[in-house]
Amino acid sequence: MTGAGQDVPWWQKAVGYQIYPRSFQDSNGDGIGDIPGIIARLDHLADLGVGFVWLSPVYASPQVDMGYDISDYRAIDPAYGTLDDMDRLIVEAGARGIRIVMDLVVNHCSDRHDWFLKAVADPSAPEHDYFIWRDPGPDGGPPTDARSVFGGPAWTLVPELGRYYFHQFAPGQPDLDWQNPDLRAAIHEMMNWWLDRGIGGFRLDVIDLIGKDPDASVFAEGPDLHPFLREMHDAAFRGRDTLTVGETWSVTPETALLYCGRDRDELDMVFQFEHVTAFHHPERGKWDPLPFDLPVFKRALFLWQEALRDDGWNALFLSNHDLPRQVSRYGDDGEWRVRSAKALATAIHLLRGTPFVYQGEEIGMTNTRFTDPDEFRDIEAIGHWAEARARGEELEDFLTGVNANGRDNARTPMQWSDAPNGGFTTGRPWIGVNPNHAEINVAADRADPDGVVAHYRRLIGLRRDRRIVSHGQFVAHAEGHPQVMAYARELDGERLSVVVNLCAQPVSFRVPKGLEVEGESLSANVTPRTQVRGTLGLAPYEAFAVMGPGGESGPG
Ligand code: TEU
Ligand code: CA
């Protein structure tokens, strides 16, 4: 066992698990997942070996955007439980060595938040200045032509006031004005209130937007972003053993260290989305995805490994609640479902950084199939369908986009067993359960010693136990290879070589010199291998990792 005497932050050896509470486990038959349901399933997570949970929002919310519209930061939504339930979750998870990292949505709140109600009721109330108000444009319309992420203008008129407020997302999600020091102080106080309750940190929703300058149409990575993050660190994170991960769709390898460089005192890591947006259509975006292309995918991931080689830290993921299921997007959700789920896990989990598993990923859950807009639950799909329809687009074309990339794919309920509704609820689920739950479910997967869960459990354990996995240097190999993803990790004279065939066809792969190794099989989804050299015949979606002497400072 390596790693002794190495003093590193806990989250550098841990794997995160994202829970989307609405779809994880219902405990009372109302069809909506809840906190008692999560508590009842903690043993599944403990058995996987994850070190922390990223919990999507459970705060009080009208659920316009499924909780990303918060009406009370210090209350739990009754659909999810009570503050007592939340405290119990923190304790019960802690007893299993799992910390709870809460989703913090502070770029905006809900239009039902007390602050916004006061802001509208009385323009001289201090809360009025917690939001971004502008007079109508010269033509009486919105002040600028900014568009909301969910369709429609990003400005909504409050007729009683004769002024518009800004919302990057839905009208029910007014942006908070971070220029206002009182607003910032109120947010910091709330964050400390949660941290003092014993949570493990925060995932900060669209945090790259808080420094915006809407008058100049600058939204992401605006001029005040980093001063605000530094101030937040001083006010809430300094001296605490927390994990902070920012969601930053706009971060680039050039700006990443501004957030998470070691001398920055801002965040521990950021989610970057280059491997996601690389497959969005240049004009039509996510609704018209480009076909998967392995060299493009590798280039994005490898670029980030290089960029944060000596400083900063990567957050590694393929899935979350906004993205399609990874086995459908990047693997094969038919014949090779199980093997390709393991191949993708191997490819991601042996990189340098902190991996995040999205609920259901660990059993290879797939996208679902929408045939009717009535089945959409996501405001994004609903909003964009309304716009597409107004433009005269065909439903069939829109459905193709939604089935490939719609957010509801990730939000269908967790499939626990072959019971009705996959064991998620005894009632009527708030969103349709994927009909394939009869075959794809936790109970069935766990019954197989070669199941996807077993593969994840092993990968998660490797990060905890092997320093070469958590801290080895990354070395890219065979970058242009159209079928194989290969890289090495090197530390203290040892080399870990990772080879993944990300195609449904067998391939013969010539091992480059720097990838050669002979030693111990650490992970395999076909048969264990102990030698990486010469020309290897790889089976469809075969993935393996071998560790032995080699590497920078080694004899090999
Ligand atoms: O997502 C940020 C965001 O911009 C997404 O809406 C993303 O752009 C979209 O999926 C791409 O089509 C965060 C949350 O993760 C998301 O669930 C929220 O809806 C959003 O912020 C607003 O809070
Ligand atoms: Ca419930």
What's 550's DSSP letter?
Answer: -
Report d(CA 421, CA 391) in Å as an integer.
37
Give the mean pLDDT of 93-104: 98
Ligand 1 atom with least separation from CA of 150: 6
Query: Which ligand is located closest to the Cα atom of residue 407?
Result: 1
Q: Which residues pair with 474 in a beta bridge?
A: 489
Q: Give the 3-state secondary structure of residue 308.
A: coil
Separation of CA 32 and ligand 2 centre (Å): 4
Q: How far is the CA of 173 from the centre of ligand 2 (A)?
A: 24
- Alpha carbon distance 389, 384 (integer Å): 8
Do the Cβ atoms of 104 and 204 come closer than 8 Å? yes
Q: Which ligand is nearest to the CA of 107?
A: 1
Atom 9 in ligand 1: residue holding the nearest Cα: 322
Cα-to-centroid distance, 334 and ligand 1 (Å): 29
CA dihedral 354, 357, 363, 367 (to 10 degrees): -130
- Catalytic residue, candidates 34, 177, 247, 332: 247
Is the Cβ–Cβ distance between 196 and 190 less than 8 Å? no
Number of other residues whose CB lies within 10 A of the CB of residue 223: 11
The token duo for 316 is: 């590694």
d(CA 8, CA 352): 14
Pick the ligand that lies closest to the CA of residue 77.
2
Count of Cβ atoms closer than 10 Å to residue 73 Cβ: 21
Q: Report the residue among 68, 71, 287, 320 best suited for mutation to probe ligand 1: largest number of ligand atoms under 8 A from its CB.
A: 68
* The pLDDT of residue 423 is above 90: yes
* 443-475 residue pLDDT tens: 999 999 999 999 999 999 999 999 999 999 999
Query: Which secondary-structure segment (H or E) carries 245?
Result: strand 243-247
* pLDDT confidence bin for 404, thresholds 50/70/90: very high
**Would residue 167 be called left, alpha or beta, if left means φ above 0 and alpha means ψ between -120 and 50 degrees?**
beta
Residue 552 reports pLDDT greater than 80 = no
Structure token pair of residue 532: 């990486």
Res. 181: pLDDT tops 70? yes
Q: For residue 260, what pLDDT is reported?
A: 98
What's this model's pTM, rounded to 2 decimal places?
0.97
Ligand 2 centre to CA of 79 (Å) is 6
User: Which residue's alpha carbon is at the smallest distance from atom 3 of ligand 1?
Assistant: 206
Pocket test of ligand 1: the residue of 322, 387, 408 to mutate, having most ligand atoms within 8 Å of its CB, is 322
pLDDT at 2: 39
Judge whether 398 and 385 are in contact, CB under 8 Å: yes
| Ligand sitting nearest the alpha carbon of 26 | 2
pLDDT higher than threshold 50 for residue 5: no
Q: What are 337-381's pLDDT values in tens digits?
A: 999 999 999 999 999 999 999 999 999 999 999 999 999 999 999
CA of 36 to the centre of ligand 2 (A): 8
Nearest-CA residue for atom 23 of ligand 1: 68
Q: What is the pLDDT of residue 7?
A: 87
Residue with CA closest to ligand 1 atom 12 = 286
> Exposed/middle/buried for 196, CB within 10 Å: 0-12, 13-18, 19+?
exposed
Rounded mean pLDDT, 500-512? 98
User: Ligand 1 centroid to 371 CA: how many Å?
Assistant: 23
Beta-strand pair 494-501/543-549: antiparallel
CA of 176 to the centre of ligand 1 (A): 16
Is the per-residue pLDDT at 306 higher than 60? yes
254 catalytic per annotation: no
**Catalytic residue at 26?**
no
**Contact status, residue 19 vs residue 359, Cβ threshold 8 Å:** yes
List the residue whose alpha carbon is closest to atom 11 of ligand 1: 322
Among the bound ligands, name the one nearest to the CA of residue 67. 1
Local confidence band at 3 (pLDDT 50, 70, 90 cut-offs): very low
Determine the pLDDT at residue 6.
65
Residue 253 pLDDT grade (very low, low, confident, very high; cuts 50, 70, 90): very high
As a whole-number percent, the residues of the chain with pLDDT over 70 amount to: 98
Query: 520 with 552: CB under 8 angstroms?
Result: no
Ligand 2 centroid to Cα of residue 420, in Å, is 16
**pLDDT recorded at residue 4:** 42
Ligand 1 atom closest to Cα of residue 405: 12
* Residue corresponding to tokens 């939604």: 402
Beta bridge partners of 500: 485, 543
Mean pLDDT of the chain: 97
Ligand 1 pocket by C-beta < 6 Å: which residues? 65, 68, 105, 149, 169, 205-206, 247, 249, 286, 321-322, 380, 407
Catalytic residue among 111, 127, 177, 205: 205
- The arithmetic mean of pLDDT across residues 71-90, rounded, is 98
Closest CA to 16 of 454, 355, 361: 355
Question: Residue 237: which of 296, 276, 272, 188 has the closest Cα?
Answer: 188
> How far does CA 323 lie from the centroid of its chain?
8
Instruction: Output the CA angle 75-81-87, nearest 5 degrees.
Output: 70
